[in-house]
Amino acid sequence: MVLKLFVMPRKVRVRFAPSPTGPLHIGGVRTALFNYLFAVKHKGDFILRIEDTDQARFVPGAEAYIMESLKWCGLHYNEGPDIGGPHEPYRQSDRKDLYRQYAENLISSGNAYYAFDEPDTLDSLRKQYESEGKVFQYDASTRLTLRNSLTLSEEEVTRLIETSTPHVIRFKMPENEEIRTTDLIRGEVTFHTALLDDKVLYKADGLPTYHLAHLIDDFLMEITHVIRGEEWLPSFPLHVLLYKAFGWENDMPQYAHLPLILKPGGQGKLSKRDGDKMGFPVFPLQWTDPFTGEVSSGYRESGYFPEAVINMLAFLGWNPGTEAEFFTLDELVDAFTFDRVGKSGARFDPEKAKWYNQQYLKYKSDEELTSLFIPILQKKGFPINPRHIKKVTALIKERLVFPQDFWEQAFYFFEGPESYDQQMQKKVWKEDTPGIIASVRELLKETKDFSSAGLEALIKNYIEQNNIGFGRVAAPLRLLIVGSGMGPHLFDILEMIGKEETIRRINKGLEMIQ
RNA sequence: GGUCCGUUCGUCUAGGGGUUAGGACGUCAGGUUUUCAUCCUGGUAACGGGGGUUCGAUUCCCCCACGGACUACCA
């Protein structure tokens, strides 16, 4: 029976653990996505944990923003601060009392120590080293010269702690060990502890650092796989050592470090600070900075569909190995594996994001799109006729990238042009045009059949009898009806706007173009 | 500076010891369309450099270059 417990595979449990220091950016969304895909694929749990141990960088509203973003993307978590779960609480500030004892355990076992150095002391040491062309590191080479429980007497340490002297707890990094471990994406990776420093695990403010907190929580929450950004790779050995120091190595999760998403233009990873200064949103949802009031655009408000954003994000650093490029969330779940995740950073391509959106828009039903366009028309004060709007939708949907392109591409179904495109006018408005248009107008007035096909037959008959080209009629007529060369089949437009409006626009245009 | 990770068309990528190095976005040209968009067809364009290993390397190994990440009492 006992043996059976050992071989029983653990249920997959992954977590997305952002810190609420601002809006989540799309790199974060992708990390969440990959976690979600892996969890669902393995019928495991996807947990949201808020890592708010840095009180100085706390931003109000960020936590709610993160949850709303995940919801918008359809990335549902099984446990989290708002929905609870078996390992509550899911906010590190609410678990504050838990961490100190673990840090002290590490001291008892000789893996950590108290340090009383003031930040200023360390700062000036860094500067001093720098001026000598060296880099100061709190490690085996320096720790014995500093103020900590390794150099102070036991009585002195006790006294300092009892008098609440500000202090931190540092990890005692082994002097010279090779750490060889495995990353799900990169394979074997090696590090040398000689280059690592004695990281602070517990801060003077009474809160743990990321390194301590995330690890204890991952252990307590029975996380089996840590899927995070590549920026964590350098501290991976510290985490491995920490698991060892706690004696938890058998429960250590497997790690996957995702390649970063880079700026489109060139250097560096895409960051929150980029805002939407680069001409595209970097945030899933619009965000208003609570301190400065500055507004950054979001994918949602810019007219992107969450399915398109998810699809696009999944393909940044991952691919199915086939030529298929459209995947729903469920299909991504089926197809996702770590061995198809790339190792190198992926430059974000705003053009491709737009293209994905265009494709998703095109495949949406006319009904669904119609319901998206109705509010646009309502805002403009037009009476709403869903049946009519649906017909317009069918006619123009393939020329839209975003729902809000609707008005620009379809206004002429609702109101006549305000002006006439100069280029087009020059090209198609000949001396005899007014005469031709005037006689066409009379034909239109008289006809009983104002259907698209009927009108087309009518005009074709006219050009044959007068022996002129189709374009001599159609092009100027379009100019009068639409105001430019855009739009679907001309007679479809005429049918939609009706005889009365058609004649009205012809008359108005004839007057204005002289 | 140091450490770690990476390097196939402009971008996202497939591939893998012998291939016409494939696809997608973009771009260009042609076709369809009375126009625009869509759509179709076609073109452009890549294995960073140098050494090995090998009959043969873009593919395996090493070095260099370049890029990125990290180097806080931030995550």
The values of phi and psi at residue A116, to 5°, are: -110, 10
Q: Percent of chain A having pLDDT more than 90?
A: 88
- CA closest to C1' of B73 belongs to A203
* Predicted local distance difference test score (pLDDT) of residue A271: 83
* Predicted local distance difference test score (pLDDT) of residue A426: 87
| A114-147: pLDDT as tens digits | 999 999 999 999 999 988 888 899 999 999 999 9
* Predicted local distance difference test score (pLDDT) of residue A1: 39
- CA closest to C1' of B39 belongs to A398
- CA closest to C1' of B6 belongs to A344
* Predicted local distance difference test score (pLDDT) of residue A413: 97
Average pLDDT, chain A: 94
Q: What is the mean predicted confidence (pLDDT) over A393-405? A: 95
Determine the distance between A488 (CA) and B33 (C1') in angstroms: 9
Band (pLDDT 50/70/90 cuts) for residue A266 is: low
Considering all nucleic acid strands, name the nucleotide whose C1' atom is nearest to the C-alpha of residue A424: B35
- Residue A207: name the closest of A102, A62, A116, A88 by CA: A102
Determine the distance between A361 (CA) and B40 (C1') in angstroms: 21
Q: What is the mean predicted confidence (pLDDT) over A219-246? A: 97
Band (pLDDT 50/70/90 cuts) for residue A176 is: confident
- CA closest to C1' of B22 belongs to A323
Please determine, for residue A403, whether its predicted confidence score (pLDDT) is greater than 90: yes
Determine the distance between A400 (CA) and B39 (C1') in angstroms: 15
Do the Cβ atoms of A293 and A7 come closer than 8 Å?
Answer: no
Determine the distance between A105 (CA) and B3 (C1') in angstroms: 29
Assigned token pair, A381: 């004060």
- Residue A233: name the closest of A168, A173, A179 by CA: A179
Query: How far is residue A231's CA from residue A236's CA, in Å, rounded to a whole number?
Result: 10
Query: How far is residue A417's CA from residue A506's CA, in Å, rounded to a whole number?
Result: 11
Determine the distance between A431 (CA) and B36 (C1') in angstroms: 25
- CA closest to C1' of B69 belongs to A231
Nucleotides of B under 7 A from a protein CB: 1-8, 10-15, 23-26, 33-38, 67-75
Query: How far is residue A492's CA from residue A453's CA, in Å, rounded to a whole number?
Result: 8
* Predicted local distance difference test score (pLDDT) of residue A133: 85
Considering all nucleic acid strands, name the nucleotide whose C1' atom is nearest to the C-alpha of residue A214: B75
Considering all nucleic acid strands, name the nucleotide whose C1' atom is nearest to the C-alpha of residue A121: B73
Considering all nucleic acid strands, name the nucleotide whose C1' atom is nearest to the C-alpha of residue A120: B73
Please determine, for residue A7, whether its predicted confidence score (pLDDT) is greater than 70: no
DSSP bridge partners of A183 = A187, A255
Determine the distance between A332 (CA) and B19 (C1') in angstroms: 30
Q: What is the mean predicted confidence (pLDDT) over A493-510? A: 95
Band (pLDDT 50/70/90 cuts) for residue A2 is: very low
Q: What is the DSSP annotation of A389-416?
A: HHHHHHHHGGG-SSGGGHHHHHGGGTS-
N-term to C-term CA, chain A: 96
| A72-88: pLDDT as tens digits | 999 999 999 999 999 99
Determine the distance between A296 (CA) and B61 (C1') in angstroms: 49
Query: How far is residue A248's CA from residue A219's CA, in Å, rounded to a whole number?
Result: 8
pTM of the model: 0.94
- Residue A203: name the closest of A194, A212, A195 by CA: A212
Do the Cβ atoms of A248 and A227 come closer than 8 Å?
Answer: no
Q: What is the mean predicted confidence (pLDDT) over A32-37? A: 98
Determine the distance between A34 (CA) and B53 (C1') in angstroms: 39
- Residue A94: name the closest of A4, A20, A26 by CA: A20
| A318-363: pLDDT as tens digits | 999 999 999 999 999 999 999 999 999 999 999 999 999 999 999 9
- Taking the CB of residue A182, how many other CB atoms lie within 10 A of it? 13
Catalytic positions of A are 272
Band (pLDDT 50/70/90 cuts) for residue A314 is: very high
Q: What is the mean predicted confidence (pLDDT) over A299-320? A: 96
Q: What is the mean predicted confidence (pLDDT) over A219-239? A: 97
Considering all nucleic acid strands, name the nucleotide whose C1' atom is nearest to the C-alpha of residue A344: B6
Q: Percent of chain A having pLDDT more than 70?
A: 98
Considering all nucleic acid strands, name the nucleotide whose C1' atom is nearest to the C-alpha of residue A473: B34
Do the Cβ atoms of A279 and A297 come closer than 8 Å?
Answer: no
Please determine, for residue A267, whether its predicted confidence score (pLDDT) is greater than 80: no
- Residue A376: name the closest of A350, A341, A356, A402 by CA: A402
Sign of CA dihedral A287, A292, A293, A297: negative
